[in-house]
Amino acid sequence: MIGAASRRDAPDMSLTGPDAGSTLRAALEAAREDLRQEIARGDGGRAALQAHATRVDELLQQLYVEAGVPDRPVAIIALGGYGRRHLSLHSDIDLLVLFGGRIGPSEERFLRSFLHPLWDLGVVVGHQVRELDEFADLETDNPEFLLALLDARLVAGAAALFDRLQAMFHQPTTHAYILRSLLELVEERHARFNDTLYQLEPDVKEAPGALRDVMAARTIAMLTDPVLLRRGPADPGRFEDAEDLLLRVRSVLHLESGRNHNVLSHELQEHTAAVLGYAGAEPRQRVERLMSDYFRHARTVGRTLEWVRRAAPVPVGPNLGLSRDGIRFLDPVRAAAAPASWIGAFQAALEANTEVTDEALSCIQQHAERYRPDDFTPEPRDRAALLRLFRPRPGLYARLSQMHDCGLLGRIFPEFDAVAWRVVRDFYHKYTVDEHTLLTIRNLERLVQTDAPERQRFKAVAASLPSLELLVLALLLHDVGKWRDDEHAPESVRMAAEALDRLQVPPEARETVLFLIRHHLQMSMVAFRRDTEDPEVVREFARLLGTEDRLKLLCLMTLADIEAVSPETLTPWKEELIWRLYVDTYNHLTQRYGDELIGRNAAGLGELLTWRPHDLSEAEIIGFVEGLPQRYLQLFSRDAIYRHVRLARDIGPDEVHLSLEQTDGVWTLAVVTLDKPFLFSNICGVLSSFGMNILRGQALTNSNGLVLDVFQFIDDERFLAMNPDAHGQVLHVLQDVVSGHADVTTRLRGRERSVLQWRGAPRVAPVVRADNTASGRYTILDIVAGNALGLLYRISRVISQHGCDVDLVLISTEGEKAIDVFHITKAGIKLDEAEQRALTSDLQGTLEGTL
Amino acid sequence: MKLIKSIVRPNKVDEVKDALARLNIAGMTVTEVRGHGKQKGHTAIYRGKEYNVSLLPKMEVEVVVADALADEAIKAIVDAARTGEIGDGRVFVFPVLESYRIRTGEREV
């Protein structure tokens, strides 16, 4: 019987006609008698049970016809063993009576007419009465019922209704849930038998190696990989034989005990051996032969189940399974019609560190041509998934190569297809353009996990970037223009722009990718062919790049690109030249770049004015950006700048204007004010008090003394996510603290231990270095310390306590290491040597925990 | 014959090559080398960490020229590779006793 009770109370009794009853009884009795005789002949196996199930089907069909037609469509559905047509003599008849709509009086009448005669006949019916709608949600309280539904078979009634049930029931999530439950049930059941099939009195249904294990092996295969059993340790024929023997034994047990009894006890063994025709002079010998036959078959079942459990693909996504040879489509037919699911196969393979199976690849290969690029990424989440796929990690090159080989990569990116097998003859390239491209990605993938000591410096550069997906995208498209014979970079840019538009890559990311493609040869050109000891060369290169992130990306791109030309191309000598250019440019960008301020003729300003929204005037924009460091225009998108301008609108003394937004899990806080003592440190303190992990911070001041601080942080403790009013609360506290109405130290008291009283040996020895030479306007403070909650607050509070103004801060983290570069002044000018010494010594003490 | 071996800045190799080509000197060997002369290298600081840049990347250009051409070639190299700063490099001149063409085994005079 399935489930402890049916969903509905039994309707009132009302008898159908006695004649009908006696006819049915006779028919059932005749069927049972036939089965008894078969069993007695030792033939109560699969064939006999199937025949019996068919007889019972007929009986139910007759009952169905006689029960009259209810208002709603109804289907009589066999479940479990009866669904499989393995109906033993005293097995329960498990039924689902399914209605296509609400159960009303007419349906209740039907139920009475259908079920009561069955009860009168003394048939043990395990029945569920359900409305179709109840199957809309996955029911997790009764895994046995879901398992039985897997064997659902229409006996009588509306076929369309049955089909709708099947469609609703057979969902990937349901299958995954059933599989998990089944594996748990098998373990529990085996544990009850001490995990051994060698029982002296085995239960031929429940014991390890018995009938439930046969069903479990079949079900696991059916849910994961239908051909699994054919590849199992035992010949499929032997598995079938084993089942047949178990069924024949069970039939004898039912016949002998006169009930649903499945234990092959000592008393019944002798009789069973005799019925099944085991030879031997003595009963003991016949019993031994029966039992050794039983164990032999049970072992086949046990081994098969064990193998299936190990080899079955684990569902890892919609229609995706992980099996021993990789990721496969559980249902290749469905997969062929769902191109948007294909990228998921490669993602799953990367996550499981395996391949996509040949079978899945050939499915893709066969059908890829039918689809247009957009078909693979129709929804925003598909496009996001494609970008996620590009995260450099072990296996990325291998998976992209598989995608390329089966034609998928070229269908998603027809641009890339243009350079498939493309040969460009020059003195140095050793591979076709497509392979060169994929090798650049392999080089990046290797770099991020390399242990080679000489590569650690570049690996650290990669680790300091928030994400490398865009770099991989840029690498993938950097040479697509090589289908033409002339200069390829501009053509690559043109083609990449089309690809990026198709994928609806956000504007900033799009710009970054196109920038990298446009200038992908620039860094090697400068490093190898320009005098990099000339500060003007570095300055020009830094100006081209604009931000540290772009420098880092281009540096990694250059390295990966050169290394993919041929195994000999990237020499340690060239690496050194690239590294030196990187360091010089990095230092220029972080230390000297604050010197260059936005003037009226600044590059990029014209564009900012041209595209301005209606509500902003040219004067308002110029008034805001004038005097901000030049990097501001490169660091922020036009839209972000417009938002800042609006934020600064009508600001008065003592006022603070704030905005807080989130994109992709990263929060951006922009603060505009006119008053600045302790501003930076106060904001750091407030963010720390809410447990926020600050990723980046920019403190910028324009010519009018307007301060713009922009922070990016992650809500590690999910404060903003979990509390509906948190957003407002953070803004409110910031407003109070920054405007001086509240004290940040009070706020931090709750976190004193972690933030204020931070002690203990830091894992990274702190380094504080002040430099007055790098920049014309600022004293540069280079601080390296172990990253910790509140670190920025501690540093900036000390700086403020020394009466210094924070004019620009570059925050970055490399694993556990925080690297912060503060551009500071005191009363508008650089610090003198005594002031520097006092400040660095206080900072050193604070960071070492001695102050 | 003279073997002229010059150590030049990496970014000057193309100019040296072009200058020699103008003298119809085409065969040359270019090698990536590292070293230092008077220009002792310097200390760079990257993200708070000092690192020493003691061996500087240079290019070595080797050509073999007829005695009559040697002075002209040396002048061409020096002119092309000069910036006037420390680190411009050196030119070494060696006499060549014999030379053989491997493909034919023929001795060149």
pLDDT of res. A850: 61
Q: How far apart are CA A148 and CA A95, in angstroms?
A: 10
Q: How far apart are CA A443 and CA A456, in angstroms?
A: 14
What integer is the mean pLDDT of A411-417?
A: 92
Rounded Cα distance between A383 and B31, Å, is: 47
Overall CATH class of domain A18-170 = alpha beta
> pLDDT at residue B84 above 70?
yes
Categorize the per-residue pLDDT at A594 as very low, low, confident or very high, splitting at 50, 70 and 90. Answer: low
What percent of chain A has a predicted confidence (pLDDT) above 90? 48
pLDDT at A272: 94
Structural contact between residues A807 and B86, judged by C-beta atoms closer than 8 angstroms: no
**Digit-coded pLDDT (tens) for A837-848:** 999 999 999 888
Q: Which two tokens stand for residue A564?
A: 């993919």
Which range (A40-49, A114-123, A609-618) has the least confidence?
A114-123
| Mean pLDDT value across residues B50-66 | 82
CA dist A674 and A596 (Å) reads: 22
Q: What is the CATH number of domain A192-312?
A: 1.20.120
SS3 A144: helix
Going by CATH, does the domain composed of B2-108 fall within 3.30.479.30? Answer: no
Is a pLDDT exceeding 60 seen at residue A799?
Answer: yes
CATH code of A333-595, in short, is 1.10.3090
Does any CB of chain A come closer than 8 Å to the CB of residue B45? yes
Using pLDDT thresholds of 50, 70 and 90, give the confidence band for residue B50.
low
* Bridge partner list, B53: B42
| Predicted pLDDT at A760 | 44
Task: With a cut of 90, say whether residue A362 has pLDDT above it.
Answer: yes
Interface probe with B: pick from A536, A576, A813, most Cβ of B within 10 Å? A576
Per-position b or e across A681-691, b if 16+ CB within 10 A of its CB: bbbbbbbbbbb
A783–B49 CB contact, under 8 Å: no
Query: Of B11, B32, B49, which has the smallest distance from its Cβ to A571's Cβ?
Result: B32
- Of the ranges A30-44, A263-277, A643-657, B51-65, which one carries the lowest mean pLDDT score? B51-65
Nearest to B57 among A573, A769, A782 (CB): A573
Contact assignment for A769 to B48 by CB distance below 8 Å: yes
A721 touches A819 (CB < 8 A): no
Select the more confidently predicted residue: A802 or B52.
A802
Top-confidence residue, A48 or A332: A48
pTM for the full predicted model: 0.65
Report the pLDDT averaged over residues A333-360.
Answer: 92
Q: In A, which residues are within 8 Å of B18 by CB distance? A: none
Q: What mean pLDDT is reported for chain A?
A: 87
| B95 and A CB contact within 8 Å | no
Label residue A18 by pLDDT band (50, 70, 90): low
Whether the predicted pLDDT of A747 surpasses 80: no
> What is the pairing mode between strands A656-663 and A326-329?
unpaired
CB pairs under 8 A between A and B: 47
Q: How far is B109 from chain A (nearest CA, A)?
A: 32
Place of tokens 């993919």: A564
Least reliable range by pLDDT among A52-66, A467-481, A673-687, A793-807? A673-687
What is the spatial distance between Cα A27 and Cα A33, in angstroms, rounded to a whole number? Answer: 10
Q: What number is the average pLDDT over the span B100-106?
A: 89
Average pLDDT over residues B57-65: 92
Q: Is the pLDDT of residue B60 over 90?
A: yes
Exposure on the CB side of residue A103, measured as CA atoms within 13 A: 20
Res. A398: pLDDT tops 70: yes
Q: Which residue has the higher pLDDT, B38 or A196?
A: A196
Please give the residue that has the higher pLDDT: either A754 or A814.
Answer: A814
pLDDT, one tens digit per residue, over A136-183 is 887 778 888 999 999 999 999 999 999 999 999 988 778 888 988 999
Average pLDDT over residues A255-267: 92
Q: For A211-225, A624-638, B87-101, which range has the lowest pLDDT when averaged over its residues?
A: A624-638
**Among residues A437, A366, A354, which one has the least CA distance to residue A407?**
A366
Predicted pLDDT of residue A773:
80
Chain B interface test: which of A428, A458, A524, A529 (most B C-beta within 10 Å) = A529
Confidence of residue A765 (pLDDT cuts 50, 70, 90): confident
Domain ranges of chain A: 18-170, 192-312, 333-595, 596-639, 650-848
Per-residue pLDDT at A753: 52
Secondary element (H or E) of residue A697: strand A693-701
CB contact under 8 Å between A531 and B9, yes or no, is yes
| Residue B56 vs residue A365, higher pLDDT | A365
* Structure confidence at residue A764 (pLDDT): 75
Pairing between β-strand A93-99 and β-strand A125-131 as defined by DSSP bridges: parallel
Q: What is the pLDDT of residue B47?
A: 65
Q: CA-nearest residue of chain A to B32? A: A573
Q: And the tokens for A206?
A: 């429940």
Mean pLDDT within A782-811: 84
What residues in B contact A587, CB-CB < 8 Å?
44-46
Tell whether B44 is within 8 A of chain A (Cβ). Answer: yes
User: pLDDT of A112-133, one tens digit each?
Assistant: 999 888 888 878 888 889 999 9
How do residues A522-550 score in pLDDT, each as one tens digit? 999 999 888 787 888 898 899 899 888 99
Listing DSSP states for chain B in one string gives -EEEEEEE-GGGHHHHHHHHHHTT----EEEEEEE-SSS--EEEEETTEEEEE-SEEEEEEEEEE-HHHHHHHHHHHHHHH--SSTT-EEEEEEE---EE-TTT-PEE-
Residue B54 is predicted with a pLDDT of 67
How many helices, marked H, and strands, marked E, lie in chain A?
A: 38, 15
Average pLDDT for residues A343-359, to the nearest whole number? 93
